[in-house]
Amino acid sequence: MRGSVVATVAGAVLLAAAPRCPAAGAEARGKLTTAESPTVAVLAPMNPRRLFVLDTMFPAAQAAKTYVLDGSTGAIEGMFNQAYWPNFGISPDGTELYAVDTYWEKHTRGRRSDYIVVRDARTLDVREDVPLPNGRQIIVSKKNNFDITPDGRYGLTYNLAPETAVTITDLRARRTVGEVAIPGCALIFAQAPHRFSSLCADGAVLTASFDDDGAFTTQRATRVFDAVNDPAFEHSGWDKPHRTLYLVTYHGRVIPVDLDGEKAVPGTPWWLASEQERAEGWLPGGWQVSHVHSATRRLYVLMHQGHYWTEKSSGTEVWEFDAADGRRLQRIRLPEPAQSISVSQDDAPLLYAITDSARILAFRLDTGALLYRTEPVGFTPQLLTVWGN
Amino acid sequence: MRLVSQSAIDRLFERMARATAQRTSRRSFLAQLGAWAAGAGALPLLPVARAAPAAAANAPPREELASVFARNAQTNDPTQCNYWRYCASDGYLCACCGGGPSTCPPGTSPSPTSWIGSCINPDDGKTYLIAYRDCCGQDSCGRCSCLGQEGDMPSYRPQLNSDIVWCLGAPSMVYHCSSAGLVGLAE
Amino acid sequence: MLRRRAGSHAAGLGVAGFALGVALALAPGVGAQVTSNVPDVLARREGLWLAPLPRAAQIYATTCAGCHGEMGRSADEIPVLANRVGYFARTPAGRRYLVEVPNVALSPRTDAEIALVMNWLLENYSRGELPRDFVPYSEEEVRDLRMARIDVARTRAQVVSDLVARRLLPSADLLALPATRSY
């Protein structure tokens, strides 16, 4: 993976044209030739170990950016600007990157514009700014305020203006085709080419099916979780390939939800921590609290010792579970607390974590051993994105 | 110059009541106060009781307070994260940015929208409703970043979510800092 | 900081805040020797204490007021309640709509709490628009109504046009929602 940044085109200019040193005081003939001319690196094709780190730049939040890292080594391969509390996504075929951005004409004032900015995944060049005419919700960046249907055709952005709705953008045609009203619900989990699900204020899971013209129908599965006493994290474990959402709750339960059909079907809940561990205060918490390795259906959760209302406290360990039966397989102790985690989706997966000191940690999941710890990446790196889930 | 005296407060409340009667601006804070107590259109009753109730003297021991935040909170310094009203304040404190716990810094505007949570005041052990309202119009203040978490719910319950940029309805959606205004005493 | 703003902002403080904050802002000459402008410190010194909010006001505060505003009016794109919401109670469909609207129907509040706050809101923020024979919502009525999942925009439009047709609403503009603005 180290060689994934491919230097291209003429790096060196031949020096052969300078046959001999001219005599002192004599005029040199010909034009200036430099030893090196500038070149631009191009990223290697998308691969499962590529890691995208969204730095929301909290102290100067209009200067958010996404760093591109080689997840195998932690080396920075590139960076591009995002705007204000943005979102980010990768096309399923790995050729395009999508940045959901909000700009004002005069930095903090003037006319506002919202776009899905389409970039080439290898050059990072902008291919198109696709307008979001109704805007988007501005909220501290959460992954599932933007999702892409598994066929790559539709980008779905969440809006609260103040009606809650999901804007459907045809990424192929580069235009927004409609809005799906999702009263009382939020977040987007796009499981099928014309379908997504959302979590609702009353503990329901809404599933919306839409067509190419933006017409839609919705169905609610009620009482999937307790939105008052034990709410589900926004960054619950999303296994998109298997259309299964593992709701992780504030108290530390996991509620598997089958999102395959037109209506969500909840499964049997299980606890992350044993009774003894819960008595010791072990709870899930952080920002990007959980992730799923889809091929093995393993769920990873950031855990810490605290009390109720420490749902955003950084994790000191990552726990690995077999999501099928809730069996815990591994506890990885973090050398420093972390807020966000993600897992590469290849056959030898790595666990990535963003620490409180803005560093990226990577662990081998077969051994649980720390592979590397980077220098700080940006100022307030907050979200991790990998290709494939 | 003198300290605010009891009689000065008396006169002020008189003036406030008169001012309320005269002013109809929807942005009038005085009218807002009246509305809370008596409903719009009725005579304003300020939600202020006169005599210090015995509750202050009988404040429960800190370790018995239901809120973990309140057990370690103080009521003197709003530039610190443990100021009692910040039990769910997530962001930069306006009090560190040229404003106060319920005052926006110069160059910014309070949003007409907010989310309303509740914190326990350790001085009397009572629960107060707090409006978490953002000051909007300049980029992040960048000072005194705090992460109060009590009562913060996911964004599918926006009425209780602190991650939303609460600048809906303000002149600008750009977040500057977080204020924590006192709404009133809960039961 | 309060002191410095006193002159120009006495009438315009929009932050829902603390009575003493206003007291300071209005106080002539308050300032130089005041060693603290922390509302709690001043309140302690003056022996001022807040009286409890009525139960319905508390429910309104924590469930509704964040968006709709303390006075029942806030951002342009959020429906105005003050001197408006009572119109809906003039027809059976409008009365149903007020509880079927998602932020009421899906609220974590109990049926009894919703009935309490709806009746309080209508009586205190829009009494003038209520029909003379207004019957307060009961817990049972709320329980039944909030089961509905409506198409909000369509239902609202139907209710409003019906109110106009029956001359129960002077103009549809009174209950119109402005197009989403960008800012």
**A220 membership: H or E segment, kind and range:** strand A216-221
**Domain assignment of residue B98, yes or no:** yes
State whether residue A264 is helix, strand or coil: coil
What is the predicted pLDDT for the residue at C105?
94
Do B1 and B67 lie in one domain? The reply is no
**Cα(B114)–Cα(A231) distance, rounded to whole angstroms?**
21
What is the predicted pLDDT for the residue at B48?
58
Per-residue pLDDT band at C18 (split at 50, 70, 90) = very low
Through-space distance between the first and last CA atoms of chain B, rounded to whole angstroms: 38
Q: Which residues of A51-78 are buried (b: 16+ CB within 10 A; e: fewer)?
A: bbbbbbbbeebbbbbbbbbbbbbbebbb
Would you state the structure tokens that stand for residue A328, as one six-digit string? 């815990």
Rg over alpha carbons for chain B, rounded to the nearest Å, is 17
Residue A53, CA distances (Å) to A332, A382, A387, C65 in order: 21, 7, 12, 37
DSSP string of A276-336?
A: HHHHTTEEE-SSB-EEEETTTTEEEEEEEE--TT-TTSPEEEEEEEETTTTEEEEEEEEEE
**A167 membership: H or E segment, kind and range:** strand A164-170
The stretch A129-133 carries a mean pLDDT of 97
Per-residue pLDDT band at A250 (split at 50, 70, 90) = very high
pLDDT in tens, A17-65: 445 555 555 567 888 889 999 999 999 999 999 999 999 999 999 999 9
User: Which amino acid does the sequence have at A152?
Assistant: G
Looking at every residue in chain C, the average pLDDT score rounds to 82
pLDDT in tens, B119-155: 999 999 999 999 999 999 999 999 999 999 999 999 9
What is the predicted pLDDT for the residue at C183?
80
Q: Which residue of B has its CA nearest to C38?
A: B76
A383 phi and psi angles, rounded to 5 deg: -125, 145
Through-space distance between the first and last CA atoms of chain C, rounded to whole angstroms: 28
Would you state the structure tokens that stand for residue B40, as one six-digit string? 């719009």
What is the predicted pLDDT for the residue at C42?
79
> Among B126, B149, A186, B160, which residue's Cα sits nearest to residue C65?
B160
Which of B50, B159, B166, B175 to probe the C interface (max C CBs under 10 A)? B159
Q: Given CB atoms, is B110 within the 8 Å cutoff of chain C? A: yes
**A146 membership: H or E segment, kind and range:** strand A146-148
From chain A, the residues in CB contact with C106 under 8 A are 183-184, 200-202
Determine whether the interchain pair B30/C1 forms a contact, defined as Cβ–Cβ distance below 8 Å. no
**Cα(A374)–Cα(B111) distance, rounded to whole angstroms?**
39
From chain A, the residues in CB contact with B69 under 8 A are 309
C102 phi and psi angles, rounded to 5 deg: -55, -40
Do B69 and B107 lie in one domain? The reply is yes
Nearest CB to A183: which of C75, C107, C152?
C152
Determine whether the interchain pair C15/B181 forms a contact, defined as Cβ–Cβ distance below 8 Å. yes
What is the predicted pLDDT for the residue at C73?
96
Determine whether the interchain pair B155/A162 forms a contact, defined as Cβ–Cβ distance below 8 Å. no
Q: Provide the shortest C-alpha distance from residue B154 to chain A (in Å).
A: 6
Determine whether the interchain pair A58/B164 forms a contact, defined as Cβ–Cβ distance below 8 Å. no
> Among A178, A231, A235, which residue's Cα sits nearest to residue A208?
A178
Q: Which residues pair with A317 in a beta bridge?
A: A303, A333
From chain C, the residues in CB contact with B186 under 8 A are 52-53, 58
Residue A286, CA distances (Å) to A146, A311, B4 in order: 20, 6, 45
Q: Which residue of C has its CA nearest to A103?
A: C183
**Domain assignment of residue B57, yes or no:** no
What is the predicted pLDDT for the residue at B119?
97
Bin A262: left if φ > 0, else alpha if -120 < ψ < 50, else beta: alpha
State whether residue A47 is helix, strand or coil: coil
The stretch C124-141 carries a mean pLDDT of 97
State whether residue A230 is helix, strand or coil: strand
Determine whether the interchain pair B156/A58 forms a contact, defined as Cβ–Cβ distance below 8 Å. no
Per-residue pLDDT band at C23 (split at 50, 70, 90) = very low
Q: Indicate the DSSP class of residue A86.
A: -
Do B110 and B70 lie in one domain? The reply is yes
Do B149 and B107 lie in one domain? The reply is yes
**Taking a contact as any Cβ pair under 8 Å apart, which residues of chain B between 16 and 45 contact chain C?**
16, 19, 23, 25-33, 35-42
Do B81 and B27 lie in one domain? The reply is no
**Cα(C51)–Cα(B48) distance, rounded to whole angstroms?**
5
| CATH number, residue B119 | 2.60.30.10
pLDDT in tens, C48-88: 778 899 999 999 999 999 999 999 999 999 999 999 999 99
From chain A, the residues in CB contact with C182 under 8 A are 111-114, 135
Nearest CB to B133: which of C16, C48, C52?
C16
What is the predicted pLDDT for the residue at A23?
56
Residue A61, CA distances (Å) to A69, A327, B132 in order: 21, 40, 19
**Domain assignment of residue B54, yes or no:** no
State whether residue C37 is helix, strand or coil: coil
What is the predicted pLDDT for the residue at A22?
53
What is the predicted pLDDT for the residue at A176?
97
Q: Given CB atoms, is A109 within the 8 Å cutoff of chain C? A: no
> Among A350, A355, A349, which residue's Cα sits nearest to residue A375?
A355
Q: Which residue of B has its CA nearest to C83?
A: B40
State whether residue C61 is helix, strand or coil: helix
What is the predicted pLDDT for the residue at A242?
98
**Domain assignment of residue B53, yes or no:** no
Do B79 and B149 lie in one domain? The reply is yes
Determine whether the interchain pair A108/B140 forms a contact, defined as Cβ–Cβ distance below 8 Å. no
Do B73 and B144 lie in one domain? The reply is yes
**Domain assignment of residue B79, yes or no:** yes
Q: Provide the shortest C-alpha distance from residue B63 to chain C (in Å).
A: 21
Give the dihedral of Cα atoms A332, A334, A337, A340; nearest 10 deg.
-60
What is the predicted pLDDT for the residue at A5?
43
Nearest CB to C48: which of B9, B117, B121?
B9
What is the predicted pLDDT for the residue at B20?
35
Determine whether the interchain pair C180/A135 forms a contact, defined as Cβ–Cβ distance below 8 Å. yes
Which of C99, C101, C183 to probe the A interface (max A CBs under 10 A)? C183
Per-residue pLDDT band at C24 (split at 50, 70, 90) = very low
| Residue A13 confidence (pLDDT) above 50 | no
Parallel, antiparallel, or unpaired for β A205-210 and B115-121? unpaired
User: Per the residue annotation, which of B36, B77, B84, B115 is the catalytic one?
Assistant: B115
Do B107 and B30 lie in one domain? The reply is no
Q: Which residue of B has its CA nearest to A230?
A: B153
Q: How many other C-beta atoms can be found within 10 angstroms of the C-beta atom of residue C171?
A: 9
Query: B29-38 and C111-125 are packed helices; what angle lies between their axes, rounded to 10 degrees?
Result: 130
Catalytic, B134? Answer: yes
Counting beta carbons within 10 angstroms of the beta carbon of residue A11, is it exposed (0 to 12), middle (13 to 18) or buried (19 or more)? exposed
| Residue C5 confidence (pLDDT) above 60 | no
User: Per the residue annotation, which of B84, B124, B134, B166 is the catalytic one?
Assistant: B134
Do B1 and B90 lie in one domain? The reply is no
Residues 6+ apart with CB under 8 A from A103: A83, A84, A112, A113, A114, A115
Domain A230-389: give its CATH code: 2.130.10.10
Please state the three-class secondary structure of B141-185 as a single string. CCCCEEECCCCCCCCCCHHHCCCECCCCCCCCCCEEEEEEEEEEE
**Domain assignment of residue B52, yes or no:** no
Domain span including residue B5: 1-46
Query: What was the ipTM of the complex prediction?
Result: 0.91
Q: Indicate the DSSP class of residue B49.
A: E
- Sign of the CA dihedral with C1 first, then C2, C8, and C12 last: positive
What is the predicted pLDDT for the residue at A15?
44
Q: Count of domains in chain B?
A: 2
Secondary structure of chain A: what % helix, strand, coil (to 5)? Answer: 5, 50, 45
Residues B113, B161: contact at Cβ < 8 Å? no
Would you state the structure tokens that stand for residue A80, as one six-digit string? 């591009």
Q: Provide the shortest C-alpha distance from residue A30 to chain B (in Å).
A: 53
Catalytic, B10? Answer: no
Looking at every residue in chain A, the average pLDDT score rounds to 93
Domains, chain C, ordered by start = 2-46 (no CATH), 55-175 (1.10.760.10)
Q: Given CB atoms, is A61 within the 8 Å cutoff of chain C? A: no
What is the predicted pLDDT for the residue at B52?
52
What is the predicted pLDDT for the residue at A143?
98
Which of C97, C100, C180, C181 to probe the A interface (max A CBs under 10 A)? C180
| Residue A200 confidence (pLDDT) above 50 | yes
What is the predicted pLDDT for the residue at C41?
81
Determine whether the interchain pair B172/A109 forms a contact, defined as Cβ–Cβ distance below 8 Å. yes
* Cis status of the peptide bond prior to A162, with omega within 30 of 0: yes
Largest Cα–Cα distance in chain C?
64
**Cα(B59)–Cα(A272) distance, rounded to whole angstroms?**
38
Do B142 and B82 lie in one domain? The reply is yes
**Domain assignment of residue B56, yes or no:** no
| Residue C44 confidence (pLDDT) above 90 | no
Which portions of chain B are predicted below pLDDT 70? Answer: 1-57
